[in-house]
Amino acid sequence: MKHLPLIVIMGFMGAGKSTFARALARRLDCQMLDLDEIIAEQEKRSVPELIEREGEEQFRRAETLALQIVLERKTARIIALGGGAWTLERNRALIAKHECYTVWLDAPFELCWKRIASEQQLRPLAIDRKTTHALYDERRQCYKLAMLHVPVTENSSADELAFVIVKSLRQRFAKR
């Protein structure tokens, strides 16, 4: 694949976006970036800390700015978004402008919640199970706008999912 597009990975908290993006980057032998890590680096604080101190609105502004910079610099072929980045129309417009290939990792809520609950890191937007489930349901409508829908199960390995994406990319972009 000579003309590999920028690949944007989205999905809910705990879907495995960062792990999957690293596996895909290994398989495609290219760079990947985790947008939350870029934001933390730019803001000099963790994402949970930024949300707690500055609020979600300020975090979303920082997220859009980081996304714009990452897309314009094209330093990585694969970008793992934070769970809410794709839900903002301005971010979807930026991603469309750069003709990115969008991939939705669709993990069931129970799997996401299990991973969220078992993590040591704080997730300020995952307040409790009920609130988090409502957020999950709300975001799914936006995630459905992705070009590729990849179901994730508890038994799915990042490498297996990466294989599915590579196959899809070859079918879609090999002729370019």
Q: What is the pLDDT of residues 37-74, one digit of tens each?
A: 999 999 999 898 999 899 999 999 999 999 999 999 98
pLDDT of residue 120: 58
Contact by Cβ (8 Å): 13, 152: no
Is 1 part of any domain?
no
Q: Residue 1: is its pLDDT beyond 80?
A: no
Q: Classify strands 78-80 and 101-106 as parallel, antiparallel or unpaired.
A: unpaired
Contact by Cβ (8 Å): 85, 142: no
Neighbours of 1 (CB within 10 A): 13
- Indicate the number of domains in the chain: 1
CATH number of the domain where residue 39 is located: 3.40.50.300
pLDDT of residue 33: 96
pLDDT of residue 2: 59
Is 57 part of any domain?
yes
Give the C-alpha separation, 16 to 9, whole Å.
Answer: 10
- Which token pair is 121? 């890191």
Is 45 part of any domain?
yes
pLDDT of residue 117: 84
pLDDT of residue 81: 98
Give the C-alpha separation, 141 to 128, whole Å.
Answer: 21
Range of the domain at 23: 7-167
- Which token pair is 168? 């899809």
Q: What is the pLDDT of residues 75-111, one digit of tens each?
A: 899 999 999 999 999 999 999 999 999 999 999 999 9
Whole-structure pTM value: 0.91
Q: Region 122-143: what's the mean pLDDT? A: 88
| pLDDT band per the 50, 70, 90 thresholds, residue 8 | very high
